[in-house]
Amino acid sequence: MQSVDAAGLGIGDGYPPRIMGVLNVSEESPYDPSVYDDPGEAARYVDEELIDEGAEIVDVGLESANKRFEVLSAEEELDRLHVAVETIESVSGDAVFSIETRYAEVAEAALAAGFEMVNDICGFADPEMPVVCEDHDVAVAKMASPPDLERPGAVEAVDWAARKGPEWAAEADYVDMVYEALGQNGLTEKTIVDPAFGGWSEAKTTDDDRATFDRLREFRALGRPMLVSINRKNFLGELVDRGTDERLPASLAATAMAVERGAHVIRTHDVAETRDAALVGAAFADRPSGVRDGGV
């Protein structure tokens, strides 16, 4: 397992699980407590609700990734970047600041302005993204996704028959597709893989997320640290029959299990509680090399 140095923060086997807190500067974002458009207020939120509570990475989103909203262009994201930059300049606490974007152009501008990591929800669909990250020598979280900037996370939308062959496509299940999608367009030396939990497409089901979670250890075979974003996700709510506001206990149980199964970074809105759950999972984690379990 290859560890990653994210601006001095070690990520991988042999390091504690890292908590990634979330800040959104997008008016569309559905989770109101993390959304700010004033840099001063945003900085206070980051200091008091994220860093002080245990977040070592702060992921800043410029737009909502929810499929219900129109995808912003790179130019529209760049128009919002100044709020994110002013925010991190005003934060007093110590954290690695990650920019969530699908565009290499936006990543380039953010890294030049002080960001130290990239969270690419389109899995290097922009072919210049890995180049930018390597040029700046930064860690990059790569979410499983088709090579399409308009369809983040929709791995079933890939023409797998053309890419892997008709026989592979006929036999592959959803988790096989996620695994292969993570390998598309390569991995940088500082890539962190993300198996794409959540409702990224109309075709994806909560059963798909459950299968991915069940086989989480297999992603260790990619040889890179793993990020999971499972906080209050629908597949957990369905298991316990709870709405989003009542899913924290289920999220914490899943966090401990995810870390025990090999996750190194947990992306969350509930920082303090998630930190504790992650530490419990780490205390009982076994770290064998990843082995694909009957994949095709």
The predicted structure's pLDDT at residue 270: 94
Pick from 77, 91, 96, 169: nearest CA to 139? 96
Q: State both tokens at 89.
A: 């300049």
Note the residue count of the chain. 296
Question: How far apart are the C-alpha atoms of 296 and 293, rounded to whole Å?
Answer: 9
Question: How far apart are the C-alpha atoms of 153 and 157, rounded to whole Å?
Answer: 9
Cβ atoms of 201 and 152 closer than 8 Å:
no
The domains located in the chain, with CATH, are: 4-283 (3.20.20.20)
At 190-236, the pLDDT tens digits run 999 999 999 888 888 999 999 999 999 999 999 999 999 999 999 99
The predicted structure's pLDDT at residue 32: 60
Pick from 52, 144, 46, 61: nearest CA to 98? 61
Pick from 23, 3, 189: nearest CA to 99? 23
Question: How far apart are the C-alpha atoms of 126 and 147, rounded to whole Å?
Answer: 8
Question: How far apart are the C-alpha atoms of 186 and 184, rounded to whole Å?
Answer: 5
Pick from 195, 239, 238, 191: nearest CA to 216? 195
Burial class (CB in 10 A: 0-12, 13-18, 19+), 97: buried
At 15-73, the pLDDT tens digits run 999 999 999 887 655 556 556 678 888 899 999 999 999 999 999 998 866 556 678 88
- 19: helix, coil or strand? strand
Question: How far apart are the C-alpha atoms of 222 and 116, rounded to whole Å?
Answer: 23
At 89-118, the pLDDT tens digits run 999 999 999 999 999 999 999 999 999 999
Average pLDDT on 250-275 reads: 96
